Chain A
Amino acid sequence: MLYEEWRSPLNASLHFITTHVYVRSFYNEIIFRCVGCAIGRKLIQKDEKMIHKYKLNGYNVVLDVNSGAIHVVDDLASEILDLIEDEHIAEEPSTNIVQRLVRRYSQDKVEETWLELYKLYKAEELFSKDHYEEMASKLGESPIKAMCLNVAHDCNLRCEYCFASKGDFGAGRELMSLEIAKAAIDFLVKFSAERHNLEVDFFGGEPLMNFDVVKSTVNYAKSLEQAYGKHFRFTITTNGLLLTDDTINFINENMDNVVLSLDGRKQVNDGLRVTAKGTGSYDAIVPKYQELVKRRKKLGKDYYVRGTFTRRNLDFTKDVLHMNRLGFDQISIEPVVADENLDYSIGEDDLDRIFKEYEILQKEIISQRKKGNYFNFFHFMLDLDQGPCAIKRLKGCGCGNEYISVTPNGDIFPCHQFVGKPDWKMGNVTENEFDESIKAYFSRANIYTKADCRNCWAKFYCSGGCNANNLQYAGDILKANKISCDLERKRLECAIALKIAEANFNLN
């Protein structure tokens, strides 16, 4: 049966409903149901089962959290799931449920739908058990495999929202020497143990301000590959001002990924991404990005044009579309991370507007793809067939454990967002040793040690979120930041809805 044929009886109303249903597994007894989730999270027991149900684009989407199965259900099945509150998951529905539905549906239909839900339950694709907490408890320290190499604590832009204190991370402007860069590569090789794939992201500040060191570091790392059985992957994150023919060629030849910073429309970008003189950067960088991407596409290599949105451009779909019209088809735009008191910071009051904007964006992407214009939005990317394994999903980004950041003087921090926070300094690459206690601390960060994550339906997709965000807003890497989490959940709902739409319109 074609998907569209199956779906046709569904009510295509566009309103959005979120419902969680939690089931205590031992007795197969549903203990709590809520619209929204704030209250339900508090009541969850250790080994509960969980689904997440929401409506978007006219589809009733049901995510079985612990199995990863995704179902689209009709309105009757959706209503039954809403009514499952204090009933056993039995082969037949309770009298209570039947009585509440027979005024609008025939008893045969109710029983037929219940049986379908029951079959999914028995197949462990609905209200499935949580198999992962024990795995999480066994997670330990990992080899270090990824390094953010801050080759320049200096920048030729003065972006208002920069988390790096406009380039110098609050510690003075400094460029990394080749000696320190080589020591960082040596450190990574030494502490990577058996890991084969190693990642180095040239970051800053602005890494092109120290491009000779970037080039020499790439060559040095490659020279070690054969002897140590490693494979380096390089990424560079740049604001583009210093791109030239030569740097573009080197980047395209040697970098596995390049992240090009641009916030979208000229007035949006130039409002916050300004030079030291206060002038906008858009006109200087866009032609360079276009040239780099034009050449890069021929090589089939990854790139992202990446922006930041703030309270000033909550209509950021227009910025995504603008970037697409400039010729870019790999686009990311993220909410600003900034002091909550700043006028452009995103607050809880903005959430409804942003939720609406993400819905607008996913609908626009569907519309564009139907027209044959495929572009990718980073935060709607989702590999539902395989993607990362469950183990990876338990621990997330791995900052401070398998991912570190190194400053120009060789200091080691858990990630680029911790740089400049003295309490989190882990050591120095020239010392060839570092504070194992901080590494051990981060190694324990997983979706079961974060109280807000263990009961969240999105935990296997964001994998515990950004530890630095948690520290910035909640004061603890293990405490979720509500705004970040709300936005992440909304993006995931849109991403899944987009996947469903793609299947429906055969757009893959």
Chain B
Amino acid sequence: MKHIFTFKKSVLKESAKNGGCGECQTSCQSACKTSCTVANQKCENRSK
């Protein structure tokens, strides 16, 4: 493409297929404690 650079492809829909195992870190256990950012958490789904 000449006018558009796709920096990141679609990831969300695919991630839902095997998602929800619940083994990942709780966001407030990292460094925030007074706000919430979830998208920086690591996925730990061992079934993928």
**A-to-B contact residues, CB < 8 Å:** 3, 6-7, 64, 66-74, 76-77, 112-113, 116-117, 119-120, 123-125, 128, 131-132, 135, 142-143, 145-146, 148, 163, 195-197, 199, 201, 233, 235, 237, 257, 259, 304, 306, 308, 330, 332, 334-337, 378-379, 381-393, 396-399, 402-403, 415-417, 460-466, 468-469, 484, 487-488, 491-492, 499-500, 503
* CB proximity to A under 8 Å, residues B1-26: 1-13, 15-16, 18-26
- How far apart sit A33 and B20, CA to CA, in the bound complex (Å)? 33
Q: Are A332 and B31 in contact (CB under 8 A)?
A: yes
- Using CB atoms, name the residue of chain B closest to A405: B28
Q: Are B34 and A131 in contact (CB under 8 A)?
A: no
Known: A116-B3, A335-B35. A386 touches B26 (CB 8 A): no
- How far apart sit A418 and B33, CA to CA, in the bound complex (Å)? 12
CB distance from B13 to the nearest CB of A (A): 6
Chain B residues whose C-beta falls within 8 Å of the C-beta of A66 in the assembled complex: 12-13
- How far apart sit A196 and B21, CA to CA, in the bound complex (Å)? 10
Q: Are A415 and B32 in contact (CB under 8 A)?
A: no
Question: How many of chain B's residues touch chain A, expressed as a range?
Answer: 35 or more
User: Can you show 5 pairs from A to B with CB atoms below 8 A apart?
Assistant: A142-B22, A148-B28, A382-B40, A397-B28, A460-B12
Q: Are B31 and A378 in contact (CB under 8 A)?
A: yes
- How far apart sit A70 and B9, CA to CA, in the bound complex (Å)? 7
Chain A residues whose C-beta falls within 8 Å of the C-beta of B22 in the assembled complex: 142-143, 145, 195, 402
- How far apart sit A119 and B2, CA to CA, in the bound complex (Å)? 13
- How far apart sit A412 and B7, CA to CA, in the bound complex (Å)? 44
CB distance from A422 to the nearest CB of B (A): 21
Q: Are A396 and B34 in contact (CB under 8 A)?
A: no
CB distance from B9 to the nearest CB of A (A): 6
Q: Are A257 and B24 in contact (CB under 8 A)?
A: no
Q: Are B34 and A69 in contact (CB under 8 A)?
A: no
- How far apart sit A67 and B26, CA to CA, in the bound complex (Å)? 23
- Using CB atoms, name the residue of chain B closest to A331: B31
Known: A145-B26, A146-B29. A388 touches B43 (CB 8 A): yes
CB distance from B33 to the nearest CB of A (A): 7
Chain A residues whose C-beta falls within 8 Å of the C-beta of B12 in the assembled complex: 66-68, 132, 390, 393, 460
Chain A residues whose C-beta falls within 8 Å of the C-beta of B27 in the assembled complex: 396-397, 463
Chain A residues whose C-beta falls within 8 Å of the C-beta of B43 in the assembled complex: 383, 386-389, 392
- Which of B5, B10, B15 has a CB less than 8 Å from the CB of A124? B10
Q: Are B19 and A389 in contact (CB under 8 A)?
A: yes
